[in-house]
Amino acid sequence: MYAFTLERPTTLADAKRLTGGGAQALAGGQTLIASMKQRLMRPENLIDLGGVAELQGIRVDGQTIVIGAMTKHQDVAANADVRRLIPGLAALAEGIGDRQVRAMGTMGGSVANNDPAACYPSAVLGLGATVVTDRREIKADDFFQGLYTTALDAGELITAIRFPVPTKAAYAKFRQPASRFALVGVFVAQTAGGVRVAITGTGNGVFRHAGLEAALAKSFTPEAVQGVQIDASEISGDLHASSAYRAHMVTVQTQAAVRQANG
């Protein structure tokens, strides 16, 4: 490891001041510390957000669940309100990585990182959530902008994510057996604004699929998506799975998610 400074603010105001000055936020370190060890990133100043109380916790606000950016995956998975109101989100959190990753990794770190195979971005996009930052509110449809890229400006901090409670929703993932990231993951939701389908693991980042959404809007059943064309030329292939295989798995995982959502 190389030399860097580490600050531990206890208020959001102090964290804002420090990141505004060019320091990099540190959440659970599940991606950032590994990237530093590999010299993929070399921040000179780190700001540990772990002591900032305003970034913690889960609360119900009318028909919305608000999850603080520093909430760990294990706490989303175990939370009684999340399990009652959006069980598909709790199950998604429960299926992330392994026990250690779930004990350290955070909602804000995952969403800010926007790994193209991460699970949470599909829930944020699939549920039509809102990303709340220290400066503004960003709709999920505007937030994810491709490979490891988001609408966040330099030094901008996610403070919470607001998830509207759906009529029904579920996530199905065909996981990479070593990392447990998604080879293909599909989040489906019936929301007040219509059916939403968000796909992760197949390319440059999470995206919605208009054909699947239209088919499920007509009939929210596994059979409804059987004939929907998934264009393999728009899906990445690698040593783990070809484009054609992943395209097929999009249909399979969508059907699995719909089955789960329908109970």
Ligand X SMILES: Cc1cc2nc3c(=O)[nH]c(=O)nc-3n(C[C@H](O)[C@H](O)[C@H](O)COP(=O)(O)OP(=O)(O)OC[C@H]3O[C@@H](n4cnc5c(N)ncnc54)[C@H](O)[C@@H]3O)c2cc1C
Q: Which residues bind ligand X (CB under 6 A)?
A: 24-32, 49, 69, 73, 96-97, 101, 104-106, 108-110, 112-113, 118-120, 157-158, 179-181
Complex with ligand X: residue 3 or 154, whichever CB lies closer: 154
Sign of CA dihedral 102, 106, 109, 110: positive
Residues 6+ apart with CB under 8 A from 84: none
Nearer to ligand X, 27 or 199 (CB): 27
Joined together, the tokens standing for residue 127 give 């549920």
Q: Which one, 166 or 185, has the nearer CB to ligand X?
A: 185
- Radius of gyration from C-alpha coordinates of the chain: 18
Q: How far is CA 90 from the centre of its chain?
A: 12
Closest CB 231 distance from ligand X, rounded Å: 25
Q: Residue 67 or 216: which CB sits closer to ligand X?
A: 67
Shortest gap between Cβ of 51 and ligand X (angstroms)? 13
Least separation in angstroms between residue 135's CB and ligand X is 11
Q: Which residue is nearest to ligand X (CB)?
A: 109
Q: Considering the complex, what minimum distance in angstroms separates the CB of residue 43 from ligand X?
A: 8
- In the sheet that 58-61 helps form, which strands lie side by side, from edge to edge? 58-61, 64-68, 158-164, 130-133, 137-139
Nearer to ligand X, 77 or 118 (CB): 118
Name the minimum Å distance from CB 28 to ligand X: 3
Q: Which is nearer to ligand X, 216 or 241 (CB)?
A: 241
Report, in Å, the least distance between residue 121 CB and ligand X: 8
